[in-house]
Structure formats: structure tokens, C-alpha cells
Chain A
Amino acid sequence: MATSTTTVHGAGPLVGSRSFLSKLREGDEIARMITFLFAASVVLVTLLLIFELWQDSALARHKFGLHFFVTRVWDPIFDQFGALPFIYGTLVTASTALFIAVPLGIGAAIFLAELAPARLSDALEFFIDLLAAVPSVIYGLLGIFIIVPVMRDYVQPALKQSLGFLPLFSGPAYGVGFLTAGIVLAIMVIPYIISVSREILLSVPRDQREAALGLGSTRWESTWKVVVPFARSGILGSVFLALARALGETMAVTMVIGNSPTISASLFSPGDTIASVIANQFTEATGDLYLQSLIELGLVLFLLTFILNGLARLLIVLTSQRGSKVSPA
């Protein structure tokens, strides 16, 4: 143990050369240990969460195996549980939401990052942040009493009349269903897409824009053909982030989706998502197999969002790094 080990390394700005004992006497070691315990508890809770989800779904996992994911039947009376309708509903509502939210969100982000003067952009971003803070049950409340009637009386009949030949827009208009849930979800995830994409776009180096404009492109061409492609993977990251939110979103969806485990090509049909079936049936679940099947659904949801969040973070970090590497400033 020569002096070389006591030189400051990456651990922190304050790693000194005092002995362990003197640090203990001055309280540093104690403070370190206490804060370490709190930090370690975060890791512990996370591991415990994964363990509990795995452990408490053991019965359902053993009984159904991989068939769980391809079985259409969800029948608590005969103890038959298959996740397919819920996985289907989750994917359909989330993709409907992204179909609406991605163009709107990216469009708004382009406006905020490229066009709006800094003060206006910051002011609008403030409102977008507030919008992201609105709880999901409030979206559900407005969904039930405003969006559902409007869908039933105006939007769905209109869609049926114009695009009714597509199986997507056929069937009776209940108001509740996949399409309505998708629209509510879209409204909920747009703020996330805008905030993250805006930051990514702002991190694109200035000289990229100047070069494009200098070569004679219009403002839009420099934005669409140079700036956006530069930020492409980061924007994709924001979309993944939004997708993860949309998959896990519970209350608003539960309130407008109609809650029936159906698989239907029609977006007008009532359905169910993984999150909504857990919310609706968890307290009523009688019998271990029923409860554990619901917990296994929770496990599936956890894994889906875990993978998507990881990918999103990776893409966002990679893009911002690229931006800072190119520009010397």
C-alpha cells in the first residue's frame, strides 16, 4: 500500500489521504455508511420487486407455461387463463396512440427547438411540463365524459361512413374501445415525446444547420433533411419512452376501453389491456391461480417496459453524446 493508492482517483473530489480511523473519528465513515445504506436499499427494493413478481406468479407460470401467451381464453370460473387478448389490446392501443402522437409530438418539438424564439420555447415547454404532470385519472375522467360521447356520436359514425370498408373501422360504435383508449393515450404521451425530442434537437450542433442553409436549402429542408436525421436515434428513443408509458398506463385506459377480453380487428370494439385487467380484477381474484395469473401479467408488463426503457435511454444518451462530440464547444 504505497502512496500511489491514496492519490485522488475517479471516486470523488474529496478522497484524501487520512487513515480509516481518523475518518471514522471525524464522522466521515459513519456518514458514508449511513448514506450507503439508503442507496443500497434502492437496489434492494428493485431486486425484491423482480423477485416478488417472479415468485408470486410461479403457480401460473408452471401451470400454463408458454401457452399463457397464445391462449385466448380468460375464464376465472374454470381456472383457464390466457394472456393473448390483453397482450393484443395493449399492443393495439399503444400503436394507435403512437400513430397519432408521434407526428404531432415531433412536429411540436421541431417548432419548439428550431423555430420558436428561446423565450417562447421555454414558456411553451413549461406548459408541456405541466401537461405531463396531469394525473392519469383526470385524463380518464375527461375521457369518460367528453371523449367517449364525442366518439360515439360523431367520430365513429363519420369514420364508418368514409372508411367503413376497412375492417379497422367496422362494427357498432359504442364510444368505448381500442380507438378511444388509443386517443386518450396519445394525448397523455405527447408531452413526453415533445420534451425529450426538443432537448435532443437542441443538442444538434449549430454548424449542421448553417452548413445546410449555406448550401442553399430552405429552412424546412435544413430541418428535415439535416437536423432531424442527425437526431434520429434520439427521437426514436423518445418514441420508445412514450411507448413504455403507453403500455403501462392504467387508469385512463381502464376508464375508456370497455373492459372485455376480446380480440377484434375493429378498433371500435371494446377490449382490455394488461394494465386494465389487473386494475379491474385484482381485488376480485379468488383463488391462487387467478391471482397468480394476474401477477404474471404484471411480470410481462414489467419486462416489456424494462426492455423499452433500456433501449430508449441508450438511444437518447448515444445521440446527445454524438452532438457534443461533433461540436467543439
Chain B
Amino acid sequence: MTSLRWRKLVSGFMLTMTGVCALVAVSVLFFILGYLVYHGGKFISWSFFTQLPKPVGEPGGGMSNAIVGSAKLLFIASLIGVPVGFFGAIYLAEFSGSKSAFVVRYAADLLNGVPSIVIGIFAYALVVLPFKHFSTLAGGFALGIMMVPITLRSTEEFLLAVPNSLREGAMALGASKWKTIATVIVPAAYRGILTAVLLAFARVAGETAPLLFTALGNRYWSPGWNQPTASLPVAIFTYATGPYEDWHRQAWAAGLVLLGLILVINIVARAVLARGIAVPRS
């Protein structure tokens, strides 16, 4: 049929092509990063972090309100996402029977797959409508809901990876179950758990869609937790789609700040904290 030489040629060619595919995929990351640094770096200045947005037409100004707004949103999100994810994972890994564990896991995976814009609708219906207010709380709630399944499932895997002999050892010394968990199992898995929390945090830090109609946006300082607030992702969206050159520059700068933050958290979590342990995919 076909000669060996031809088959070897095909083999070499196709294998090279797979390498090209991998190269293309990875180079996208460096392209994004390079372009943002090149384009956004010029516009980052001290005032970007310290000043409010200027009225349209006036050059300068910053995004301090969006940066603080993002921090507030992420604070509320963590208040919801971390405890629910952490204690839920302890239940799954240490207490639950196989049936209830199946139900909780199923719900968490389902929640994890829900598109972020739908989470936004949910938060709107649950928090915005009853209070009749777009608010920081509603935005934080939406982000918190998104954090829960990511934290829960990865924390559970790290807990399950703790060897059973540690549990048995603690029990043999007469420790009760919760004491075993609190003093042996969680400390043994803490690096993994911290990684899980950080990755979930980084994931929701860049979410825009669930904030559009919960936290809304604000050109000024948000006056309170039950008032609309600016946030970095929404600010990038508004400024990038707006018609003014000056807005576009601010969007680039904000994009660089946001991406920098998210990549740094990811690198710290994956390469430093989680060195040597497999990070489950969310």
C-alpha cells in the first residue's frame, strides 16, 4: 500500500503540526500580556489609583472608586464563598454518607456550570428586587454564589487526599472526630485549601456579567453597602465600549491592573502554595 517513507513523512508532519497548535495556544497568553503591558502600562500613573473619574472631556482622573468597589465586592463574596465552601467540603469529606454526598456534589457541579450572567439574574431576583436597589451587597452575593462550588469541590479533594492513617492515628489517641478534623486533617491539607480559596477568589475577581445588574456601576464613591458601586471589570466594559479616546486609555490601564492581579494570585497559588500537589480543575 503506502510506502514506509511516506508514512514516516506523514507522521513527522502531523506531529509537528500538533506542536504548532500547542505553540499557538500558549503564545496567546504572552500576546495578551504583552499587549496589555505595552498599551496599558503607558496610562498607569499614581492618579489612576488615587483619583475619581474626571467628567467626560477632561483628561486625567483615575479609578480609585472602582478599585475600592471591587475590593468591597470581593470581601462580601469571600464572606459567603469561603465558609460555605470550606464547611461544606468538610461535611462531604468527613461526615456525609454516600447518598447525601452525591446530592451536594451534584448541586455544586450544577451551580459551577451555570453561566455567570444567569447567576446575575438570580442575584437580581433575590437581592435587588426585594430591596428595590442595585447594591454592593447584591453584587457581592452574586460573586459569592460563584465562589462556593469552586471552593467546595477543590477543598473536598484536598481533604480526601489526606491519608487515612492520620485520621486513625488521632482517633487511636482518643481524639473526638471534630478534634481530629480541626487539629489533624485541616492542618495537613491547609496548603491545598488555601490554594482552592485563592483560585476561587481570582476567578470571581474578573467576573463582569453578574455585576452588570446587581452592583451596576457608579461614577463616584459608593455611599454605602446598599448602594450601587463601581468595580474594575464593569468599568473596563463601560470604558472600552464608550466613545471617548480618554475612556479607552483608562480601560487599557484598568485591564492591565485587573489581569496583573489575577495572574499574580494564580501564579502564587499554583506555583508556590500548591507546589507538588495536583490542583483540581474547576
Set B119, B145, B168, B262: member contacting A135, Cβ < 8 A: B262
Instruction: Report the minimal beta-carbon distance from A111 to chain B, rounded to whole angstroms.
Output: 4
Distance, CA A34 to CA B88, complexed state (A): 9
Set A11, A195, A255: member contacting B96, Cβ < 8 A: A11
Instruction: Report the minimal beta-carbon distance from A128 to chain B, rounded to whole angstroms.
Output: 7
Residues of the B chain whose Cβ atoms lie less than 8 Å from the Cβ of A94: none
B44: CB under 8 A from chain A? no
Are A301 and B240 touching (Cβ within 8 A)? no
Are B11 and A39 touching (Cβ within 8 A)? no
Interface size on A, residues (CB 8 A): 96
Residues of the A chain whose Cβ atoms lie less than 8 Å from the Cβ of B255: 137-138, 141
Distance, CA A108 to CA B164, complexed state (A): 38
User: Does more than half of chain B's interface fall in helix, strand or loop, or is it mixed?
Assistant: helix
Distance, CA A126 to CA B39, complexed state (A): 25
Are B152 and A250 touching (Cβ within 8 A)? no
Contact with A along B71-104 (1 / 0, CB 8 A): 0000000000001101110111011111010011
Contact with A along B252-282 (1 / 0, CB 8 A): 1001001100110011001100000001010
A42 in contact with B107 given A34-B87, A35-B91, A146-B35 (CB within 8 Å):
yes
B-to-A contact residues, CB < 8 Å: 7-8, 10-12, 14-15, 17-22, 24-26, 28-29, 32, 35-36, 39, 83-84, 86-88, 90-92, 94-98, 100, 103-104, 107-111, 113-122, 124-126, 145, 148-149, 152, 164, 167-168, 171, 176-181, 199, 202-203, 205-209, 212-213, 216, 233, 236-237, 240-241, 248, 251-252, 255, 258-259, 262-263, 266-267, 270-271, 279, 281
20 A-B residue pairings within 8 Å (CB atoms): A11-B96, A14-B167, A26-B176, A35-B91, A42-B108, A45-B107, A46-B111, A105-B21, A105-B25, A135-B259, A138-B32, A138-B258, A191-B25, A224-B14, A251-B208, A278-B117, A283-B212, A305-B113, A305-B114, A306-B114
A-to-B contact residues, CB < 8 Å: 10-14, 16, 23, 26-28, 30-32, 34-43, 45-49, 52-53, 56, 103-105, 107-108, 110-112, 114-116, 124, 126-131, 133-142, 144-146, 187, 190-191, 194-196, 218-221, 223-224, 244, 247-251, 254-255, 275, 278-279, 282-283, 294-295, 298, 301-302, 305-306, 309, 313
